[in-house]
Structure formats: structure tokens, C-alpha cells
With several copies, the nearest count.
Chain A
């Protein structure tokens, strides 16, 4: 459980994500958020944790907390297949550049999002997008990957997958 980038060299600088240590924290964040959003990447289709794909955990969270999801292809089809409908096809950085703009009104036309969950992308791709949001927006970002994403506002440390699953499962209980 180290606050160390999963890509050894991807040191962010002085400002680093706080560590997520338990489900309560995540729950509190969700509760506090006026309009959360989740962005899911295609690596979630490859990463297996305790016999279950990352995408399944993520879709379950989205479902349970009614969080709209942005994703690309082929993930879009996979999420639909899992019976979740509040999902919008959009490229990650496109999404980030929209979310960054306070005047964007979101998919429901009612205003921008204030909390972004993100997971399942190639490490550096997610890392850089989070960096863009960190520097150029005031949105709160939470990485749900089982490793440290220092440019997020909050991230899991790089950790054993079982520990990660335990926390996420608590969130899903």
C-alpha cells in the first residue's frame, strides 16, 4: 500500500492524490457530490480482480449510486450488455475537456458534474487526463483503479487486489 505511481517514473510533482483507505470515504464523497460522473476505460475489460472483471465492479457501483457513465468503444457495448443504460459514448479526453468547462451543462442539460470517478484506462492515459483536470479545473477526481493515480484528488494506493476488492465490495453492500 504505497503512495507510489504504478508507473515508476510518473512522478507528478508536489501535489498528489490523497489515499483512499476505506469504503466510508468513498460513500461520503458520493453522498456529498451534487452530480457525480464515472468514466470507464477499456482496460476494465482485461483486469480481473478476484475472478471478476473491473468493469463489473464499476458498473455495479454506477448502478447502485445512479452515476452516469462516459465510455468509449468497445466498453460502451459491454456496459450496455450489463444492463446499464445511463451511459454515454465519449472519448476520455473529450470528456475531460467538457467537464473542465464550468459552462458545460452535462448530458441532462442541467449543469456540469462536480465529482468524476475514473478507472480502467491505460495508466499513462488516465494519469495525464487527471493531470489536465487537476491543473485546469476545480472538479474533484477519484481514481477507482487498484493502484495509485497521483494526479487524481483521491486514489487508492497501489495495493493488493484483494484489499481493493474488499473496500469496493463494502461500497456495494
Chain B
């Protein structure tokens, strides 16, 4: 692919300048010549091109695999027992198989964003034309850092994105192919492919987001993006309500447009779950956000939605059934999520509305976005008076009566991903006390597995939300609408303090909050680090969750902190596909602050980010394959990621060994010498057991070899301070991070000096760090 070779053969081309017949053109490269930045070594890199870089990381951060299952069941030779060092019929061993599973997850993740980006770009081109410019606003010159970095092209118009998408699809296909039985076998090469999947995933996401920002005129690098209503309680229950669910926003936008066109704004509520909600609020001032995926059943069963419109990704797969329960009408809009429904795309809108409202067809499939807008609104208006917000919530009496049927089999507890004490809450309920059920609401992730498992078919999830109904209706918060990219001005201001370490770090809260406590702990962590003047970036469901908590003054973190990409900022970039603005900020620092060439220059930039930019990702409740590939995109770029304990289910961690000095040498680009720089960053992929552990690790993983003494002192202050707070003592690895006495935080000087002495600490050098010998300016020896 590095020589991606476009060619066209056509019978007839019509351009503004006339018609050409039987034109045939071959083009060796598609690189613009007018762009002054030289093409780096790896334009459109294939799987193998960055393998060396990956191996460098993988040698420092060895995978620790945790198989979900002793078996492999990938082909009809299987199942194969891979316990311990057994090999499967194809010759694979357990490490290989685990890495292969991780690759599968990441390939699915990357494919999902790529498919999303492709459908979005196709749609936008159809609606707005292929020449729509890709402006990210006045303050953003580097519109697509990932596309530039990886592909080596500079997209100017929306059609330029298609070249990059072709590349991503090509690579996804090769990656998936490597999973076939009897292909790759070595864990290390599987892991390198995992990183590759992550890299192209960031390209795909970036494409999706810049396309929609440009065309729909979402906030463009706007630190003051408006505050938006958030929570299960923000919907006006008296109005007809449309619920949009998913990630690919055009159908939701068509609904908003139709309402605007028909002067119905204010008469119909439009609220959303997951990223479609986030993206809709970047477009429309009247849309509302209910919450993340785990809020799906809560909100639907509350009965407020009259029409449910789903697009793709993170859409609970049995919503047709759930919609039926509450008499809501159901519209599917994506070819990736058809749910067996009749395709009504080519029928007149009114006929579809009739069939829905009359109950002839409780659900339909419509691929025409505009028609979705019309049908959804008309159907909502028509059905709302009829169904009168039918709900499936239950009265205390119903719950108490039902609970008495429990046979105490514990199946609910055993089915719950977090082993929540459902049975005990039910048994209390049978005795008339619903408080335990209501308490579960806080921790429950809305998966309904308990319900599905119940021996006597109690609607357990409904019990939980019914018991907590009051709490649910009181959930009214604010979130800052997704602002999109970080502006060049912001980068110019923070580039140096970040690279020098004076802003102690950039912490990105991303991914789903689909594990217990996610809801409470994310806002707490955000607050802690914003207070400490880290830069906090957020996206997707994590961004919502951060907003779902109010301090004593009734303020969410979005109201409490500013939205600039600067110390102490709480910066919601947008939906999941906005994540590349976070990684992209690091790339931009390399370009704008450090003047590195980024064009097709992945390895050098990753090396730069890895050694200099104290960024860390936190995915506190991530559950999806997309989350896996997003994380691996961060890893390849040299940004460590922390997950909650549930993250162990991703089946492997990438852990450094600070006890092995030999692992932590870099080249000094100035001298060509190998220099010990300490375990910085110590890990690349890490599960924290508790939020306290996570907070300590966040602070530590922001440490980078390039920190100035001032920067290192600031970072150590936070690390040590948090460590002391949560462990009651000094951390046992300070000596690895203190290079000279000037690195020591002033306020802890004596204590640390004593500690260093006890450890026999010696002064260390501060190099111009790199893992790439080719970047040494002076030849060694």
C-alpha cells in the first residue's frame, strides 16, 4: 500500500471543462507536490512497516496473558485444549492464541469505526457534494494529524478522505486475514498487528469526526462549546419523545432538521443514548443526552420514548423486543443493524407511519436518512397520545408481590457481571423493604443478565429501576458539548509546558463506563486531576459519566472547570470518534511545538510522544472491541492506558518491569550514548483494582524521560502526594525517577533525600531521549 496506485479507466468523464472519452490515467502516487513537508519513510504503512517500532515497545512491555478459556474454538479442528504448553491442531500455543484474540477484538474495533466513517463520508458526499472543504475552523491548520502522520496525505476536501478510507479497509482486511487458522503464530507478531489495528483505527475515527464536524458545522475547536442537558431526568415527559441510540448521527440529524423545518422544535423531545446523543448535541441546541449504553434499558423501560431510532454500534440487540414491551415504535437505519425488520426504504413515509402506528409493523428498517427524520417525527406525534407513555416500571406493591416468588437459587447473582447481591435485594423487597433494590441502581450496568437467568422469570432489572425511579427522574446534569479538535493556538501555548513536564500531564478519560462504580468514580478522578491542574480530556460515554455528578454547589465538572486545552481544563472533545483529537493533540505538539515533520513519519513521532508527552488514557469501564482498538492506537503512539479491574477481561496487560534496569535505556540523540532513564512510563496497559490505585498510577505514568527538572519535580509532587494519601508512605521507586537533586519536589526535600540515601541513589543523566538510533545526531563512538 505504500505505493498506493490509483488508476482510472473510464468511458466518459464529464467535468466543468467538457467531456473526455475513453480516458485512461495511471498515477503512481497521490501525493500533492505543493505541500512543502517532505514525505516521510512510511506513507500508507502496511502491517510490516512499523514492526520494528512495535517490537521495541513489546520488549519493554511484555504481555501478561490471562486466558478467558483454556480452549480455542476458532475452527473445525477445534475445540483445542491449549492448557499450559499444549498446542492446537494448527500448531498454535496459548500465548499466540491470546494475542490472536486481542487482534480479533482490535480488528473488529477498527473495522467498526472504519465502516462508520465510510458510511458517514458516503452520506455526506451524497448530501453535500464531494468538494465540501474540511475546515476545522480558523484556529486549526492541521486538520487531520493522523491522516497526515499515517497516510502522508493532507485532506482538503471531504473526497480526499476516501483515499485514506481505502487504505484503512485494505489494512483491516489484511489484519483479519492474519487471524485465519494457519497464518500468524507468534504472539509478538500478533501484538504488532494489534498496534497496527489501533493506528489505523485512529485514522478511521479521525476521518469520521472531521467529516461530520466540517459538514454539520459542529463546534470547531471551541473551548466554550455550549452546555447541554444530560441525564435520565431531563426529558419532558409530557411531550412526544424520540429516542436516538447509537453512533452514526445522520438519522438523528435528519430528525432534528425535520423538526426545525416543520417548526416543531419544542413540541417534540429528542434525546439520545451513547455517541449519537453526543454528536446530536454538537449539531442541535435542543437535543438532550440521556446517558451511556448502560442507561438503555433504564430509560426505555421508563416508557418515555415513543419512537426509538437506532443506528449502529453499542445498540442493545434486543430493542425490538424492549420497544414492544412499552409500545414504542422502532426504526432501524443501518445495514449493520437490521434486526430482521422489513425494509421500507422505498415506501412513502405516511404509509410507513400508518403501519407503525396501527401496530401492523412494530418495527421497520429505513435506509433513507431523510425519510427516517420524517417518519420518526410523524410517528412520534401520532403515537404519543395513543400510548400515553406506557411504561414497564412497577409499583412497590407489584415488586413486593413478585419478589415473594423468589426461590433463592442465586442464579441472578451468579449471572451478574459484578455479582451484585440481587437475590438479597429481592428478598428484602419480599419483606417490603425496597431500599436494597434502589441501592443496586447505582452499581447496576443495565445488562439484564440477572433477569434472563432468573429461575422464576422475575423482571429483575425493572425491579431495580422501579425501586430507584425517583432517583432516576432527578438525574439532571450538564455536559459541555463536544468541542472537536484542539486548536493550534492552544497547542502553541501548552506544547512547551507539556513537553517539559510543567503541566504535569494530559489525562484522557475515554470509553464506556460499563462497570460498577464507573458512574461515581470517573467524576471523582476528573475532579482530582483537574484540581491538580492536569489537562483533562474526555470523549464518548466517559465524557457523559464525568458530568453525572454534582459537587456541593450543585456543579458538574463541566461547570466547575474551563474547557480549554490547558492546565486545569476539562475538555470534552466529543464522541468516541473524537478520540483522535486527543491523540492528535500529541502529534500536533510534535509538529507545532517541536517542528518535527509528521507527514508519513509515524515512528519518529511515536518516539517523540512516547519519550516526551506525559499523556495517559483511562478507560474506566470499557467493554467494547472499539475500546480495545482505541487503546492500541494510543499504545503504538506511546501513550499508556489504564483500565479498571474489569479491563482484565481484555485478556492481557502490557507491563513494564521497573526492577530490570536493562529495560529502561534510551539513546541520547545528542551524544549517541545509551542512557538509563528509569521506568518512564512504567506500563503501557495496566488494570487498576481501585480508583485510588488508578489515581496514583495516572500520576506516575505521566512521567517521561524528557521532563525538565522543574517538570519532573512537579510530576513527582503529584505522584508522591497521591501515593502518600492512598498508601500512607513514600513510594518505593522514587530513586528511579529522581535524576538529580533538582528533580526532588521542594516540599518533600528532606524526606526524599533521606529515602534516596537509604537506597544508595546516584545521580543520573537527562538525555535527549529516543529509541531510534537513526535519530542520533552525532554518530556513536
Contacts and interface: CB of A to CB of B under 8 A. Distances in A.
Question: Do A and B share a direct contact in the complex (Cβ within 8 angstroms)?
Answer: yes
Contacts of A125: 645-646, 648, 687, 689
A14 B419 CA distance: 16
B590 interface: no
A93 B657 CA distance: 12
Given A100-B64, A125-B648, A136 B79 contact: no
B746 interface: no
Nearest to A13: B70
Interface in B63-116: 64-71, 78-84, 94-95
A9 interface: yes
Interface in A73-122: 73-74, 76-77, 80, 89, 91-94, 96-98, 100-101, 104, 121-122
Contacts of A12: 69-70
* Range for the number of chain A residues in contact with chain B: 35 or more
Nearest to B687: A93
Contacts of A97: 62, 64, 653, 655, 657
B415 interface: yes
Contacts of B686: 91, 93-94
| Interface core residue of A6, A8, A101, A131 (most chain B CB under 10 Å) | A8
B728 interface: yes
Given A72-B689, A92-B689, A125-B645, A11 B64 contact: no
A77 B725 CA distance: 10
B591 interface: no
| Interface core residue of B65, B81, B417, B689 (most chain A CB under 10 Å) | B689
B68 A15 contact: no
Contact of B727 (A7, A15, A76): A76
Contacts, number: 139
| Interface core residue of B95, B649, B690 (most chain A CB under 10 Å) | B690
A104 B658 CA distance: 12
B692 A73 contact: yes
B453 interface: yes
A125 B687 CA distance: 9
Nearest to A89: B727
Interface in B720-747: 726-728, 732
B66 A11 contact: no
B453 A8 contact: yes
B670 interface: no
Contact of B728 (A41, A77, A128): A77
B610 to A, nearest CB: 20
B693 A135 contact: no
Contacts of A93: 64, 66, 648, 653, 655, 686-687
Nearest to A74: B692
Given A80-B728, A136-B94, A104 B659 contact: yes
B415 A122 contact: no
Interface of B: 62, 64-71, 78-84, 94-95, 411, 414-415, 417-419, 453, 645-646, 648-649, 651, 653, 655, 657, 659, 683, 686-690, 692-693, 696-697, 726-728, 732
Given A14-B83, A77-B727, A80-B728, 16 more contacts: A9-B70, A9-B80, A10-B79, A13-B81, A13-B83, A15-B70, A94-B683, A100-B64, A122-B646, A125-B645, A128-B66, A132-B64, A134-B83, A135-B65, A135-B70, A136-B64
Q: Lowest 8 CB-CB distances: which A-B pairs, in order?
A: A13-B70, A9-B79, A132-B66, A128-B66, A73-B726, A8-B414, A125-B645, A9-B81
